[in-house]
Amino acid sequence: MRVRDNGPHPPSPAKDGGHGLLGMRERAAMVGGTLRTGPARGGGFLVEARLPCPAREAAG
């Protein structure tokens, strides 16, 4: 899954006391996935998650 923000400003800190990118990375790792984040080419910010899909792997 890939999410891109084309905005010209840096992301705002979470206002609800959440865990932000660190929490997302930990949750992805808990299920065997990965999370990459950082500046996107041409501006904005990119979040890319790769998560295993058990149904897809079983169909193999």
- If one counts the domains in the chain, the total is 1
Confidence of residue 60 (pLDDT cuts 50, 70, 90): low
In a domain, 50, yes or no: no
Residues linked to residue 46 through DSSP beta bridges, in sequence order: 4, 38
CA 21 to chain centre: 7
In a domain, 34, yes or no: yes
- pTM of the entire predicted model: 0.67
Confidence of residue 52 (pLDDT cuts 50, 70, 90): very high
User: Which pLDDT belongs to residue 54?
Assistant: 79
In a domain, 14, yes or no: no
- How many CA atoms are closer than 13 Å to the CA of 41, on its beta-carbon side? 0
For residue range 2-39, what is the model confidence (pLDDT) as tens digits? 999 887 666 566 577 667 889 999 999 999 999 999 99
How far is the CA of 53 from the CAs of 4, 27, 39, 43, 60, in angstroms? 22, 15, 27, 31, 11
